[in-house]
A and B are shown apart, each in its own frame.
Chain A
């Protein structure tokens, strides 16, 4: 299905959407047509009709409604608790303060500064290793026939459907036995093992769309399989690799269950793990929770905004195959 979507979005515009509406090259006039309409008519044309205007109002209203909770989170993170309890939407007499961020950064149980660093230390290798091993394993899946291929496929699908809770018990005992429980390394291994399934499947689908002729030509020129992989396959699959990197980064960074189970010392806590602890006992420390949350979500959200195209395309391709 991935291949279908790709062909329909990439090759279709020239073939179909044109539908003969454009002039052939020799029929294009020498000069551009002059503006026949006055500015007044042009202005009325540019202003949307009433139903369309209503549609805009509705669409913008819905989109704003969707981010109101995040707006509240941000407002709470920069205001003192007394004002938050009056309602973050009351903006008269607003005090702007970074005190919440300062407190969250050096939060006594598990300082956010340290937790964010831990999250980086776990996330970056989890992404890089998955990329490398995933691309390597995807290559034979896309190009060769080998025994047990179908069975492996089946296993990958099964793992993709499985809830993370299902592997927690086994991994808990494995990590205890090999002495990697409650360590960066242990959590990275769990994330890599868990992510490999979808990455292999995703990259394999992408590789199927790369024509094999290129490799055959290189093969005749005497390139080894390893050289072909490094000089042809990897560069050609760069867009897919970026998609995988962004999505895997977001998932590992946002993961809460695995750290909760496998990281037990407070100085190894990951950022998402610290947030629920910040609630406090009687009165919820909204400012603290909000500041910590904003710091945690900033990384994946900024990444999403920078690489939105890859993220969305990858997301669509990952689930529609």
Chain B
């Protein structure tokens, strides 16, 4: 439906239509150019810059010679990026890529299922809005605060988590969870799940509230138990949302930065045991020794992992 289709009805003269075309072009430019200029300079430009820069050598912040895949090969051989020896021995640090993917593998399914569970639990209760808001609250709080709260919760002395362990008689498990090399990453992932469950619950809740209640009523009348009702009515209707929840979860986790930075600084924990890709980019790009080539490669890897998923969402519509 172009503009001309509408105008054609009452102004059919071709020479006038051309004039209107010019007017349309001016209007288009006026509306589009300011926004798109900023978008091009500060979003698209830098991405292209990183893509090009990843195949050049870097002298500090200055671009040097074309070096082909040098940066890429160097990065993939870097134990900070992926540490094959430690992966086979199931020992942290496994490298930022492996740790980030481990985060995806645990965080995304758990937060999705928990979100669905809570959405179903709250669906028909009085006061559900308050209950939902309580669970969702964490998602509106700055993620750096979330990281600091985790530090506080897992603190050996002042932390409530260790106090619970003491209370149930598991004294032996009491420790500084965010600094324990082999366990810290799981403690942080639990924190990520804590935050993101609210988000997936919100999406599932809105999908559930769109379900016609009479459908469920009639299933009840027909004698379908809770499990049958879920499997045959609710699940088919909320399944499309699941794709969105899972993909948004992966995107969220692949750019997780603040929580890890708050808990372990720019090193990503003692001996980089829970470093993630974002942390590696930050350290390579903005802390001495500066390695722009590596930073760009790692950031591009982050994008390459999530880009197909975003396109999948786009194609769904």
Contact = CB atoms under 8 A, between A and B. Distances in A.
A305 B130 CA distance: 10
Interface in A238-258: 250, 253-254, 256-257
A1 B34 contact: no
B135 A62 contact: yes
Interface of B: 1-3, 6-7, 10, 24, 27-28, 30-32, 34-36, 38-39, 41-50, 53, 61, 118, 121-122, 125, 130-131, 133-138, 140-145, 147-153, 155, 157-158, 160, 163, 194, 197-199, 202-203, 206, 209-210, 212-214, 241, 244, 248, 251, 254-255, 257-258, 261-262, 265, 277-278, 281-282, 285-286, 292, 295-296, 298-300, 302-303, 306-307, 309-311, 314, 316-317
A144 B28 contact: yes
B285 A297 contact: no
Contact of A160 (B199, B202, B310): B310
Contact of A88 (B32, B151, B158, B199): B158
A56 B126 CA distance: 9
A308 B134 CA distance: 12
Interface of A: 1, 5, 8-9, 12, 16-17, 19, 21, 55-56, 58-60, 62-64, 66-70, 72-73, 76, 84-85, 87-89, 133-134, 136-137, 139-140, 143-146, 152-153, 155-174, 176, 189-190, 192-194, 196-197, 200, 212, 216, 219-220, 225-226, 229, 250, 253-254, 256-257, 260-261, 272, 275-276, 279, 284, 286, 289-290, 293, 296-297, 300-301, 304-305, 308, 311-312, 315-316, 319-321
Contacts of A158: 47, 303, 307, 310
Q: Is chain A's interface secondary structure helix, strand, loop, or mixed overall? A: helix
Nearest to B27: A225
Contacts of A64: 134
A296 B43 contact: no
Contacts of A260: 261, 282
Among A158, A165, A276, residue most surrounded by chain B Cβ atoms (within 10 Å): A165
A320 B35 contact: no
Contact of A316 (B45, B143, B202): B202
B35 A169 contact: no
30 contacts: A17-B213, A58-B121, A63-B135, A66-B134, A73-B149, A87-B158, A88-B160, A140-B31, A160-B310, A161-B303, A162-B307, A163-B306, A165-B255, A165-B298, A167-B47, A168-B281, A168-B282, A168-B299, A174-B42, A193-B41, A193-B42, A220-B10, A226-B27, A254-B143, A276-B144, A286-B158, A289-B152, A301-B141, A319-B203, A320-B241
